[in-house]
Amino acid sequence: MLRIYDLRPIHLKEKEKTNNEISRILSAAVINAGFCSSLLKTPATAIDSGYYGEFFNVNAQDKAKIKAIHASNLVDFATQITQI
């Protein structure tokens, strides 16, 4: 049996996981105006509530950074969230 090992450092694995969740959050905001509005007004609540039964796996540190984002539109939000 062939096994595949991921030998990347743990911090790179965590960064990839965070990037995947950010992508999922932004995707949900693009396809649903209600979720987008909630994300812009109260990001932490929107993330905690999830989207149509899907939940976002964001650690407390990243959630605190996201909560501090103040954006008037999704483009501004996306620009700021990609910097965390």
Question: pLDDT by residue (tens digit) across 40-75?
Answer: 999 999 999 999 999 999 989 889 999 999 999 999
For residues 34-38, average pLDDT:
96
* 21 pLDDT above the threshold of 60: yes
User: How many other β-carbons are positioned within 10 Å of the β-carbon of residue 82?
Assistant: 11
- 26 belongs to a structural domain: no
Can you name the residues that pair with 54 across neighbouring β-strands?
51
| Separation CA 52–CA 50 (nearest Å) | 7
Asked whether the beta carbons of 78 and 26 are under 8 A apart, the reply is yes
pLDDT at 74 (0 to 100)? 96
Question: Percent of the chain having pLDDT more than 90?
Answer: 64
- 57 belongs to a structural domain: yes
* 14 pLDDT above the threshold of 70: no
Q: What is the mean pLDDT of the chain?
A: 86
pLDDT at 18 (0 to 100)? 72
- 18 belongs to a structural domain: no
Number of domains comprising the chain:
1
Residue ranges making up the domain that contains 53:
33-84
Q: Tell me the pTM.
A: 0.77
